[in-house]
A and B are shown apart, each in its own frame.
Chain A
């Protein structure tokens, strides 16, 4: 699993936010467009792309996209 690819998949769940806003360090809850539906979409994307079922608690634990990437990677190991 590639970090940049993960960031791109993460960004694909957004409509309005510019691509430049998404880096591993992005604190995603601070993005104006962040919503509960996007949160659900990220969980579904991770399931579809990586075969990992994230829980709400996993989402809450992550602050940045990198954090979430790390959580997914740990589950893949």
Chain B
């Protein structure tokens, strides 16, 4: 094989939320670039489908069914995990609720999935020294919260701001150990997460995208793959916008 600084050959990478959307696309791209994957999600059938899609790479990948909001599930995942060169915390949920209608229960649930789980997983893997020197941690943040806010999206945006702050802190603390940490910050991506929007609403929102479309999961996955690869060896503490220009105006 020729010159390819973006190769992930020889790297072992754990991806959360691997059963669908950005997580599945990331797993596929990473496998194609040569990585060995540990795929985890709470959705068993869809996780198995992702694993089936990776079979053609010839390498054997591992799947771990886990609820990362459950301390036992999280610690079991950490225990079974091999030494890692890459961690992709991607699992997330979104639901639009105007501020006066926010329920504490919903606030806590979204925080647990979008914010606490990535923090606790990262912490636990670091504590157990399961992330190798030269390793890369990539967290899926969002354009939401970090770059812009929109109606009804307070909880989600707040969790993503938390991820942004956590990412920069990890980058600062772990830099001396040769471990990098960055986020990707997508705008609208064609995944199940935006399934709540009507076609009409999507068409209207698309006018805010200079490139004239929403992202495909692969657009985000390739950004994540770059941040996992040695091509980004000097990149840490960076929020990588992948939004088709949406936040420009």
Contacts and interface: CB of A to CB of B under 8 A. Distances in A.
Contacts of A43: 96
Given A40-B96, A44-B97, A48-B101, A57 B152 contact: no
Contact of A40 (B103, B151, B198, B200): B151
Nearest to B200: A60
Contacts of B100: 41
Contact of B198 (A37, A41, A57): A57
A44 B101 contact: yes
B98 interface: yes
A48 B103 CA distance: 9
A41 B197 CA distance: 15
Interface residues of B, number: 13
A37 to B, nearest CB: 5
Interface residues of A, number: 14
Nearest to B101: A44
Contact of B152 (A37, A45, A47, A59): A37
Interface in A48-67: 48, 55-57, 59-60
Contacts of A59: 198
Contacts of B104: none
Interface in B81-140: 96-98, 100-101, 103
A55 B96 CA distance: 11
B151 A37 contact: yes
A4 to B, nearest CB: 22
A41 B200 contact: no
A45 to B, nearest CB: 7
Given A36-B151, A37-B151, A40-B151, A60 B198 contact: yes
Contact of B97 (A40, A55, A56): A40
Interface of A: 36-37, 40-41, 43-45, 47-48, 55-57, 59-60
Give the top 6 A-B pairs by smallest Cβ distance, nearest first: A44-B101, A56-B198, A40-B152, A37-B151, A41-B98, A40-B98
5 contacts: A40-B97, A40-B151, A44-B97, A56-B196, A56-B201
